[in-house]
Amino acid sequence: METITLLQPDDWHAHLRDGSALKRTVPDLAKQFARAICMPNLVPPVKTVDEALAYRERILAHVPQGLHFDPRMVLYFTDQTSPDEVAKIHASDYVNAIKLYPAGATTNSDNGVSDIRKVYAVIEQLEEYQVPLLLHGEVTHQHIDIFDREKRFLDEVLTPLLRQFPKLKLVLEHITTSEAATFVLEYDRNVAATITPQHLLFNRNDLLVGGVKPHFYCLPILKRQSHQQTLLEVATSGNPKFFLGTDSAPHARHAKENACGCAGCYSAPTAIELYAQAFDQVGKIERLEGFASHFGADFYGLPRNENSITLVKEDQVIPTALDYLDGEQIIPLYAGQTIAWRKV
């Protein structure tokens, strides 16, 4: 297939940051997607509906003229989150979910939940109002191998949680393992997952062989090729429990290329083409529209988009660097490499 037209996709997991970073991140994302779930791990974090709506206005101020982009907002779950905030989310036109970061799991997660049992009163309200809980699914204990942290989270945190709250509407974000894929498949439609382009296109060999590649470093970390293969299988299966979430995360080059490099891949400018590359490599390009444009909207109870985009099978070289902040640069995912699809 040389050309494919699909409903304009949505990104159900994206990091835009705040302040002057929005000059870069918002146009990049808005040129690709009609909507995006905008992560709340700012400094300070977005903890209330009022704060989320204020953040949304700051995002909208940077949408390029002529583009329609609808930021969907999320609250940052802390040990102090009030159960009353859930009803406010449910009543909001623009706030769709709450995001749980285990404390210390990833960038700007220090204010995250220290023990999920402490917030069961809030989760009870989430289940009642059917407000989605978005989860960064890793344990954070230092003695647990970084490659095992997702599986341990499934066993030690998520299984007991769903036993306690079986109707909880839940998205396991950026899954990276075959165990996570199997876990999602075993539950009802109230449990879903997002998958990133980097976890479909790459594995830990790409990160580690021949020297550490800091721009492939993300959390959860890239796993074995066998896990990558399973993610490709479920993403391209047409199962509506799996949908697009880039986890695109901007970090300045100097913050990635140092001994304490930040975790995150910046894929926003060419995200849909990267997904097309992954789907096409396994001969399933015709399944891209469901994954990118249908299933996430259906899960969140939002209408599917009406506008369409077209991708052509034409080589595209991803830029080696992009301008960011004042004189800084971002190195995008797959920088300097050629991919086989282009959005027109």
The annotation places the binding site at 13, 15-17, 41, 99, 136, 174, 219, 247, 251, 263
- Residue with structure tokens 């009030």? 82
In angstroms, what is the C-alpha Rg of the chain? 19
- Residue with structure tokens 């909208």? 60
CA distance 272 to 278: 10
- As a residue count, the chain comes to 344
Pick from 243, 322, 232: which is nearest to 278 by CA? 232
Cβ–Cβ < 8 Å for 101, 41: yes
| Amino acid of residue 108 | N
- The C-alpha angle 340, 343, 344, rounded to 5 degrees, equals 125
Pick from 150, 205, 198, 155: which is nearest to 178 by CA? 150
CA distance 78 to 173: 18
**Other C-beta atoms lying within 10 Å of the C-beta of residue 8:** 18
Any bridge partners for residue 37, and if so which?
A: 72
- Active-site residue, 247 included: yes
In terms of Cβ atoms closer than 10 Å to its own Cβ (0-12, 13-18, 19+), residue 265 is buried
Going by the DSSP 8-state scheme, the letter that residue 19 receives in this structure is G
Q: Of 93, 247, 280, 315, which one is the catalytic site residue?
A: 247
Pick from 82, 123, 84, 83: which is nearest to 100 by CA? 123
Going by the DSSP 8-state scheme, the letter that residue 271 receives in this structure is H
Q: Taking the alpha carbons of 14, 332, 309, 69 in that order, is the dihedral positive or negative?
A: positive
Annotated binding residues for Zn(2+): 13, 15, 99, 136, 174, 247
Q: Which residues are catalytic?
A: 247
